[in-house]
A and B are shown apart, each in its own frame.
Chain A
Amino acid sequence: MSVLVYAEHDNAALKGVTLSVVAAAKAIGGDITVLVAGEGCAAVAGEAAKIDGVSKVLLADNAAYGHQLAENIAALVAEVGKDYGHILAAATTTGKNFAPRAAALLDVGMISEIQSVESADTFKRPIYAGNAIATVQSSDSIKVITVRGTSFDAVAAEGGSASVESVDVAADAGLSSFVGEEIAKSDRPELAGAKIVISGGRGMQNGDNFEMLYKVADKLGAAVGASRAAVDAGFVPNDMQVGQTGKIVAPELYVAVGISGAIQHLAGMKDSKVIVAINKDEEAPIFQVADYGLVADLFEAVPELDSKL
């Protein structure tokens, strides 16, 4: 039995979530192969070869894979993956985009966002925005799975010495082309991997007021997130959204500011180790999950917090 792990990267460096996906692969058991598909991404394959527990790295370096277009990546993964028992990818927007397409090409079902491995064919995953946890068993010969990174402790990035082999099945399906992208540039850590996250909700009232959170975040080395309400109101961009339909985070410390705590938001952050809520409404549901609640006007409390750090 062997497991194929799809590496998440930006052609220059491996993304940390891949180490969590390898952890899930280890829990399943068997030889672990990492597939690195991209353009000019040989350095990523070198990094992948050092991951603890990886026995082989496959490198598919071709212009067709440079922008992770699902049509091309899914065809590659289905071709390379047909000899494996499991195909694992991170439950990121990249993994969610190509993995179901690859599964359908292989005529197998798929299991999304597993949070634990019970056995080689049985997994736990959240449903209904995390209000229920389903234990599911796959009867397919190849199990295509996306892994919730925050649910698995990353394996060591060093210690392995896998061989790197090139795979030559490059094909541009000719169905789609990359036009451009706007990636938010920030010196703050990425939301999904940050140790501390501070998020604002509708209570922030406007986008300018998020400046208060950025100041606190910079003192703490934190990432800044937002509730869907704040995104819907246009305060901040969607890539900051934490929740059922946004990012799932599980930092050491999560600070919710002016967030009421709708179940869709809780779904994205309730596995955080310590939760702090600052809200002027003492009945807000966020206080039911908060370790430390402060009933206060955020426009007084946040500047005060800033001054005390």
Chain B
Amino acid sequence: MKVLVPIKRVVDYNVKVRVKADQSGVDLANVKMAMNPFCEIAVEEAVRLKEKGVVTEIVAVTVGPKASQEQLRTAMALGADRSILVETDEQTQPLGVAKALKALVDKEQPDLVILGKQAIDDDNNQTGQMLAALAGMSQGTFASVVEVADGKVKVTREIDGGLQTVELTLPAVVTTDLRLNEPRYASLPNIMKAKKKPLETLSPADIGVDLTPRVKTIKVEPPAERQAGIKVASVEELVDKLKNEAKVIS
């Protein structure tokens, strides 16, 4: 069976972003970029399914600027067989991306789409669910266990308060949570091999999709700074402060 793995190029998770002085956004000049961590988990899950013999082909896809090719090459170094870039310099938003992915689903006819539950830049947590709606597919979001058997996929989901297990008909969309797996690192030989794997570039027009943003960002500000307080010398002093100064315990 074929798996589609949509990924996103984002600011590396170790970078502490700064808001631009003109409040137009965060400063991305000369900032290290990487594959979104939840997308790495998605690629890893697809690769593991291939290693188990469940999956025969993995297609990594992304919607974004030309430089997103780097992240597609990374996905191929990790085990994706080929990749597709829908190239745009437009600010991508979940609904537009989901429409582009729907067009790729129509083209590729995967049995399973595995993608990250959220990108760590916009923190939206929407794209997988939107794709599932547009493609009329079932969805297993925030997955911590994925088992494919008998034409169905069983997904254990991280929910508030615990875990929920659902069974989905195929084709299905699965979004990954942190505990699904621990992604591997790409080996040097595999990085070299990935350079020769096919990478197809399409324009939004090629797939008939309009990526115009629906939500306009008016301004971006730094959050209210929290002032560091005081150091207490002992547990006794701490309890005293909490009782008599902060009055948060009695």
Contacts of A309 in B (CB 8 A): 239, 249
Shortest Cβ distance from residue A194 to the other chain B in the assembled complex, whole angstroms? 12
User: In the complex, A253→B242 CA distance in Å?
Assistant: 9
Is B226 interfacial (CB-CB < 8 Å)? Answer: yes
The 8 tightest CB contacts between A and B, nearest first, are A109-B214, A291-B229, A100-B129, A104-B133, A175-B138, A100-B126, A104-B130, A183-B162
Segment touching B, from A27-35, A41-49, A134-142, A161-169: A134-142
Residues of B within 8 A of A112 (CB): 123-126
A238 and B231 contact, Cβ closer than 8 Å, known pairs A70-B129, A135-B219: no
Pair A109/B129 contact, Cβ less than 8 Å: no
A131 touches B248 (CB 8 A): no
The interface residues of chain B lying within 8 Å CB-to-CB of A134 are 217, 219-220
Given known contacts A136-B215, A253-B248, A289 and B141 CB-to-CB distance under 8 angstroms: no
B residues 1-52 near A (Cβ < 8 Å) are: 11, 13, 16-17, 19, 26
- Please, which residues of chain B bring their CB within 8 A of the CB of A175? 136-138, 168-169
Q: Are A253 and B246 in contact (CB under 8 A)?
A: yes
Q: Which B residues are within 8 Å of any A CB, using their own CB?
A: 11, 13, 16-17, 19, 26, 93-95, 98, 117-118, 120-134, 136-142, 144, 154, 157-169, 177-179, 213-223, 226, 228-232, 234-236, 238-239, 241-242, 246, 248-249
- Once A127-B121, A133-B221, A263-B16 are accepted as A-B contacts, the answer to whether A69 and B214 lie under 8 Å apart by CB is no
Give the CA-CA distance A263 to B18 in the complex, in Å. Answer: 13
Chain A 111-125 near chain B by CB (<8 Å), digits 1 or 0: 111000000001000
B16 to chain A, nearest CB (A): 6
Looking at chain A's contact residues, the main secondary structure is mixed
Q: How far is the CA of A296 from the CA of B233 in the complex (A)?
A: 9
| B94 x A109 contact (CB < 8 A) | yes
Q: What are 24 residue pairs bridging A and B, where the CB atoms are less than 8 Å apart in the complex?
A: A94-B160, A96-B125, A97-B129, A101-B139, A104-B131, A109-B95, A110-B94, A112-B124, A131-B17, A132-B26, A136-B215, A136-B216, A136-B217, A139-B214, A174-B169, A177-B166, A179-B166, A232-B178, A239-B158, A288-B226, A294-B235, A294-B238, A296-B235, A305-B235
Q: How far apart are the CA atoms of A179 and B145 in the complex, in Å?
A: 13
Cβ distance A290 to chain B, nearest Cβ, rounded Å: 6
A182 lies within 8 A of B238 (CB): no
Which chain B residue shows the least CB distance to A102?
B133
Residues of A near B222 (CB, < 8 A) are 131-133
Q: Min CB distance, B241 to chain A, in Å? A: 6
Is A151 interfacial (CB 8 A cutoff)?
no
Note all chain B residues with C-beta closer than 8 A to A276: 238, 242
Contact between A245 and B118, CB atoms less than 8 A apart: yes
Chain B residues, CB < 8 A from A196: 248-249
